[in-house]
Structure 1
Amino acid sequence: MQSFGEPWPELNDGLHYRDLLRSSDAGLKLIEFYSKKYRNSAPLLGWLQRIHNKQITIDGDAVTDPDTILREGMELIYYRLPWKEPDAPHLLEILYEDDDVIALNKPSGLQVLPGGLFQQRTVLTQLQWRSLKRTSSSAFQEPSPVPVHRLGRGTSGILLCAKTKVAKSRLAAYFADGTSVVGVSRHTNSELKTMRKITKIYRALASGVINGDEVVVEQPIGQIRYPGVAKGLYVASPSGKPSFSRVGVLERNIHSNCTLVQVEIQSGRPHQIRIHLSFIGHPLIGDPLYVAGGQPKCFDPEVMDESFAHDGGYQRPEKPVPGDCGYHLHAHRSVFPHPITDEVIDITASLPYILRTQEESTAITQG
């Protein structure tokens, strides 16, 4: 299999955030605008620090007075200083590629899209760099592929990316259609399979010994406030959105008190497999966040960290967050119709050693 990827520079380039002031914000003080509109980025004292650091300009001029009155039409730019992002792998294996689609084997530890501390060290950046490199050696400008779904930073395996707008639209629709029919009781399981255009099968290592050979989990997944997660943390919640996972036992290890499972998901809620397995009392081995019941460990919703870093932003939370790694989860197989030709594409990503059955490990060794 072909691979690509450029080593990460020590520091990223920082970020520029631009705002064109609307009439509804006219009359606000500079500090009011940022501390209210972007309160998830930094606390009040953090924004004061950024202003004093000359990280904010108005119409091209740095401003250090937080009480500056804003007027409609002003252009505000906040410059986030460059920083060293946490370590992340940079090589990506190509599992399938044509003029419309590229499927990658994403390594554990690499984030898909920019967010939080990871703004440069992402799959998206490597795709953009690859396109620029190929374009510079060709007379034709190659569009940069974009992921059409996400995998958790700690999750490895198949990531589908689109190379054209049409492919992106259709692949995204495949994922959305699969999620939309979950929980619709009037459909039989065979009908659901027909309606879902994409099949997603994962391997995972769950704690404890699962007794039944197959477990169906239909626990809804919702969100709660959680420190370090601006949009809220996904958890098992009765008031959440319908979710469906079919868990099949592949191998039980009584001595190590764990179970190797295959999971087919019909919906695509964030962290669904981690939440569903923990909900039934079998969190993934090494999961730093979710515990039995599908909830975060050691969480007091009344205690929210308000400390900030040298750039004014929030410190890395002391409590575990969804992007933390350590668990074993792999997107192993994906089957879907090609977004342009409708040909059935069946892609498999090789399994990490720890997620192979004994029989699979033996076959590879002997082969």
Structure 2
Amino acid sequence: MARRIVRTIMIERNDEISEKKGFFTGDYMLKTKRLGNYLQVAIPSNWENHAIEQILKEVWETPKKLLHQWRMDKTILLNGMQTALSTKVKENDELSLPIFTKGDYGVIPNKLQQAIQILYEDDHLIIVNKPARIATHPNGASDKTTLANGIANHLQEKGETCTVKHIHRLDQDTTGAILFAKHYFAGAILDKKLERREIKRIYVAAIHGKLTNKKGIIRTNIGRDRHHPTRRRVSPTGQTAITHFQLHQYNAKRNISTVLCWLETGRTHQIRVHFSSIGHPLVGDTLYGGKPIFHRQALHAQSIEFIHPITLEKLKVTAPFIDEMSYFYTE
């Protein structure tokens, strides 16, 4: 039986999770609650005398199409009453947004053989610990063995009807924290956060060899390998790719280093390609030159950190290992 051990290694990182959007600074958590299809938000003091439309645009960056729909349907409520988007709010007013629209799951709900470990869940999003040997989402309508299918089944068993949307992906054989949205409003906000690099993800990788530098940055473009259908390669004409790394430990007996990585970009196979390109392929990653001494590429998404798309609280969620971890850490 594989061990389940929670182990987190701290890294030296200067970037902080922070945002500034007009009158909103992101230093507090909104008081919210769900009432049927509505999200009810208590107006904080620093929103007073601002118009509802300004709040929707600057705080949540509401998509224009959705904002227009709410305006035309007159479904925004203030203190339980229909109101114009030009209305200015007062502290402790209750603003209600119809964000919980029912729809299908977007994938076929299916109970997976391996139970899904839920790391965090609320009305807006869910973060799970992805096992190895499973894809993030289906590649075709008939595919029902992915993580998204398992999450849809979890929601169905709870009696929740909502569309499952992955915000980012992990390779089939990579484990760790992965984020899904549970409604369109949260999904749209999280997509923008990912695009602006406001969702910080830390990975643990085991690589062959001893690194010369204890920390550094790999800056080489990544493109497709025209000789292989799935492989990527370093290419001057490829997309910009930047990987930061920090050495945690080196095992001389195995000649394996454990490194912590965080990305400025999210290219396919980025960590795998970058370390292979500097002569340190991931353990078990035979596609990029790693030795088959581990049953998969030794890569784990250890943590994910971001500002909650709705409540504005700062979240940091850590994913414990769910399979053999001996190639990552040695005592």
Structure 1 length normalisation: TM-score?
A: 0.55
1:119 matches 2:143? yes
Opposite residue 203 of structure 2, the aligned amino acid is Y
Percent of aligned pairs with the same amino acid: 31
Alpha-carbon shift at residue 226 of structure 1 (Å):
4.2
Alpha-carbon shift at residue 216 of structure 1 (Å):
0.8
1:175 matches 2:199? no
1:239 aligned partner: 237
**What secondary structure, in the 3-state scheme, does the structure 1 residue paired with 2:117 have?**
strand
1:138 aligned partner: none
1:204 aligned partner: 205
- 8 Å contact kept, 2:298–2:328: no
Return closer, same or farther for 1:213/1:104 CA change in 2, 3 Å cut-off. same
Aligned partner (choices 235, 249, 252) of residue 251 of structure 1? 249
1:329 matches 2:327? no
Q: Deviations over 1:257-281 (max 9, x none)?
A: 1101101111111111001111111
How many Å separate the matches in 2 of 1:280 and 1:331? 21
1:223 matches 2:224? yes
How many Å separate the matches in 2 of 1:279 and 1:268? 17
1:338 aligned partner: 308
- 8 Å contact kept, 1:158–1:348: yes
Alpha-carbon shift at residue 134 of structure 1 (Å):
2.6
- 8 Å contact kept, 2:222–2:232: yes
Return closer, same or farther for 1:118/1:279 CA change in 2, 3 Å cut-off. farther
2:120 aligned partner: 96
How many Å separate the matches in 2 of 1:113 and 1:242? 25
Alpha-carbon shift at residue 327 of structure 1 (Å):
1.2
How many Å separate the matches in 2 of 1:335 and 1:243? 20
- 8 Å contact kept, 1:148–1:171: yes
1:354 aligned partner: 326
Give the gaps of 5 or more residues in structure 2.
1-111
Alpha-carbon shift at residue 97 of structure 1 (Å):
0.5
How many Å separate the matches in 1 of 2:152 and 2:158? 10
**What secondary structure, in the 3-state scheme, does the structure 1 residue paired with 2:317 have?**
strand
How many Å separate the matches in 1 of 2:142 and 2:276? 27
**What secondary structure, in the 3-state scheme, does the structure 1 residue paired with 2:231 have?**
strand
Alpha-carbon shift at residue 116 of structure 1 (Å):
7.7
Return closer, same or farther for 1:268/1:169 CA change in 2, 3 Å cut-off. same
2:157 aligned partner: 133
How many Å separate the matches in 2 of 1:246 and 1:350? 22
How many Å separate the matches in 1 of 2:139 and 2:207? 28
2:265 aligned partner: 267
Opposite residue 158 of structure 1, the aligned amino acid is A
- 8 Å contact kept, 1:90–1:126: no
1:194 aligned partner: none
How many Å separate the matches in 2 of 1:111 and 1:126? 11
2:107 aligned partner: none
Structure of larger gyration radius:
1
How many Å separate the matches in 2 of 1:117 and 1:259? 41
Return closer, same or farther for 1:117/1:145 CA change in 2, 3 Å cut-off. closer
Aligned partner (choices 276, 279, 282) of residue 277 of structure 2? 279
1:213 aligned partner: 214
Alpha-carbon shift at residue 96 of structure 1 (Å):
0.4
**What secondary structure, in the 3-state scheme, does the structure 2 residue paired with 1:127 have?**
helix
> Displaced runs of 4+ in structure 1, greater than 6 A?
none
Q: Deviations over 1:47-102 (max 9, x none)?
A: xxxxxxxxxxxxxxxxxxxxxxxxxxxxxxxxxxxxxxxxx853210000111010
Alpha-carbon shift at residue 349 of structure 1 (Å):
0.5
- 8 Å contact kept, 2:127–2:177: yes
Pairwise CA RMSD: 2.6
How many Å separate the matches in 1 of 2:271 and 2:277? 10
Opposite residue 286 of structure 1, the aligned amino acid is G
Larger relative contact order (CA 8 Å, sep ≥ 6): 2
How many Å separate the matches in 1 of 2:278 and 2:113? 32
Alpha-carbon shift at residue 233 of structure 1 (Å):
3.5
- 8 Å contact kept, 1:221–1:235: yes
**What secondary structure, in the 3-state scheme, does the structure 1 residue paired with 2:247 have?**
strand
Alpha-carbon shift at residue 217 of structure 1 (Å):
0.2
Alpha-carbon shift at residue 355 of structure 1 (Å):
5.4
1:159 aligned partner: 178
Structure 2 length normalisation: TM-score?
A: 0.61
How many Å separate the matches in 1 of 2:172 and 2:273? 15
- 8 Å contact kept, 1:111–1:118: no
Return closer, same or farther for 1:332/1:226 CA change in 2, 3 Å cut-off. same
- 8 Å contact kept, 2:242–2:265: yes
**What secondary structure, in the 3-state scheme, does the structure 1 residue paired with 2:274 have?**
helix
Alpha-carbon shift at residue 224 of structure 1 (Å):
2.7
How many Å separate the matches in 2 of 1:330 and 1:118? 28
2:165 aligned partner: 146
Opposite residue 269 of structure 1, the aligned amino acid is R
